Amino acid sequence: MIKTSTNYDVAVINYPLMDPRIKPVDHASHMRLDYTSVDPWGVPIYIHIPFCSSICKFCVYDRQMPDSKKTLDDYVEALKKEIVLYAETPYIQSLKIDSIFIGGGTPTTLSSEQLKEIISELKSNLPLKNPEITVECNISNANEDKIKTLYEAGVTRISTGVQTFSQERRNILELRYTADDIYKWIEMVRKYPFKDISIDLLYGLPGQTLKEWLNDLNTAVSLPVDHLSIYKLTVFAYVKLYKELENKTVPELPQEEQIIEMYMEADQILKRNSFLVQSSQEYCRKDNKSRFWDLTYDGYGDNLSFGAFSFGYVNGVSYQNLPDHKEYIIAASEGRFPIKMVSRQITPEQLLERTMMLGFRRSFVEKSVFYEQYGKHMEDVFGDILKEYQDQGYISDNGSRYELTPLGRYYQGNVSAEFMRSTFGKVSSLKKKMAIGMHVLPDALNDMKGV
C-alpha cells in the first residue's frame, strides 16, 4: 500500500542501490566496460558542475563556492580526464549517446572557454549522434557573450532556475534579481535560435498562497519558454531556511493539503496551455520534448554521468562519484575512475523493477515495450501492485500503457519505491526511506559510519 505519510524527498532514481562495502580493485572490470553493448536504447549523459557563485538558503545539494580560478581550471581538467577514461573503453564506444545535460550547481560559474572545452572533449571522444545539449544557467553569470558562445559550441537547450516571480517570495528566499530582470534575460537568450528554453519553478514556499502560485504559472506560460520544471520545496534540517522556519523569522510553509492543491492546479493550467507531461516534474510544449528527460527515465538503457557527486548507471551497475571536488580532482588526475561507491551487478528481477520505478518517474510504462524487452507482461510480474494503485487512484490503465494520475505523479516517489521490492522485502518504512535517501542497500546502513 502507498503510504503518503512516508514521502521520499530524495528523488527515487538510483537502482540497484549501491553497496559501499564493495571495493572494486578495477572499476572498469566491475562495470564490464570491455563488453560491447547491443542495447538499442539511446543513452543520456549528465555532467555535474558542483560550483555556485552563491549558495541558496534552501539548497539541499552538495554545492561549493570556488575558492580560486585554479580550482575551476583543475576541475575542468579532471572532468576531461574522466570523460577520456570512459571513452577509451569498448562498452562506452558502442553506446548510442544523443543527449547531454550540463547541470549543477551552476555550470555558468565556469568561463565560456571552460564550457567550450568540456563540450569539445565530449564531441572529440564519445560516439555522439547529433546530441541535444542542455546547459543550466544563472542570469548572474550567463551574460550575452556566454550565451552566444554556448550557442556557437552546439548547445541546443538553455535552462534556468527562476523559482518564483513574486518579489515577496524572492526576498524571503534571498534570490537575487527581480522578475523584470528575468524577463529581460529570457528575451536576450531568445535572440539565439535555441531549440528550447526551460525554467524551474518552486511551489510550497514560505507564506506562498495558491493565488501567488497561480500567478507564477500564468506568468510562466505567457513567456517564450518551451519547458517548465515544477518542484515542491523540500526543507532539510541542515539548510539555512530550516533554521529560519524553526525560529519563525520567515512565514510558515503551506500545509500538505494546500501543496497538493498547488500541484493539481499547476497540472491543469499547464495542460490547458498546451504543455505535455514529460515526467512527474517536467512539462514541455507540444512537439518540443527534451530527449534528456525521456532517455533518463525510460527505464531501459544506461545513464552515463561525469563529475563530482554525480550518479550513473552503466551496464547493470549503479555508481556514485566522489562527492568532494578535491578528492574527485586527485582521482581523475591520477587516471583512476573517481567513484565513491557502486552497486552489485543488477539481477534479472531488479532489471524489471528498475524499468517500473524509472518509468513511473517519467509517469508511464508502455505495455508493448516492456513485453518486447522482457518477454513478460507487466501484469504477470507486478499485477498486485498495479491493481492496488489503480484502486487507490494513483495509476490508470489506458489500454496501451499504465500511467500515473496527477495525484500519482505528486506521490511519484512513493509509487516508484514500491516496485523495489526484491531489495526491501520486509524492511521498515523508515529504514527504506533512509536507504533510498543515501542510495545504498538497507543492510549497508549500519556500516555507513566507517565509509
CATH code of 234's domain: 3.20.20.70
Do residue 425 and residue 287 come from a single domain? Answer: no
Q: Is residue 397 part of a domain?
A: yes
Do residue 96 and residue 227 come from a single domain? Answer: yes
Residues of the chain with pLDDT under 70: 1-6, 8-11, 60-65, 448-451
Do residue 260 and residue 355 come from a single domain? Answer: no
Q: Is residue 196 part of a domain?
A: yes
Q: Report the candidate in 398, 419, 396, 391 with the shortest Cα–Cα distance to residue 406.
A: 396
Domain count, the chain: 2
Do residue 218 and residue 352 come from a single domain? Answer: no
Which of 296, 318, 334 is the last residue before a domain boundary?
A: 296
Which of 265, 296, 327 is the last residue before a domain boundary?
A: 296
CA dihedral 196, 202, 208, 211 (to 10 degrees): 30
Residue-range definition of the domain harbouring residue 352: 348-438
CA distance 394 to 130: 37
Q: Which residues neighbour 303 within 8 Å (Cβ) at sequence distance 6 or greater?
A: 43, 44, 46, 295, 296, 311, 312, 313, 314
Q: Is residue 386 part of a domain?
A: yes
Do residue 271 and residue 359 come from a single domain? Answer: no
Which of 261, 296, 331 is the last residue before a domain boundary?
A: 296
- CB atoms near residue 55 (< 10 Å): 13
Do residue 285 and residue 370 come from a single domain? Answer: no
Do residue 113 and residue 180 come from a single domain? Answer: yes
Q: Is residue 159 part of a domain?
A: yes
- Report pLDDT for 239: 85
Do residue 232 and residue 354 come from a single domain? Answer: no
Cell of 331: 582521482
Do residue 147 and residue 246 come from a single domain? Answer: yes
CA distance 274 to 295: 22
Q: Is residue 434 part of a domain?
A: yes
- Positive or negative, the Cα torsion across 197, 62, 430, 352? positive
CATH number of the domain at 403, please.
1.10.10.920
What kind and span of H or E run contains 266?
A: helix 256-272
Q: Is residue 95 part of a domain?
A: yes
- Report pLDDT for 62: 63
Q: Is residue 49 part of a domain?
A: yes
Do residue 53 and residue 133 come from a single domain? Answer: yes
Query: Are 126 and 306 contacting, i.e. CB atoms less than 8 angstroms apart?
Result: no
- CB atoms near residue 380 (< 10 Å): 8
Q: Is residue 132 part of a domain?
A: yes
Do residue 284 and residue 189 come from a single domain? Answer: yes
CA distance 14 to 301: 13
Determine the distance from the C-alpha atom of residue 204 to the mean position of all C-alpha atoms in its chain, rounded to a whole number: 20
Outline where DSSP puts E strands in 64-163: 96-104, 128-137, 157-163
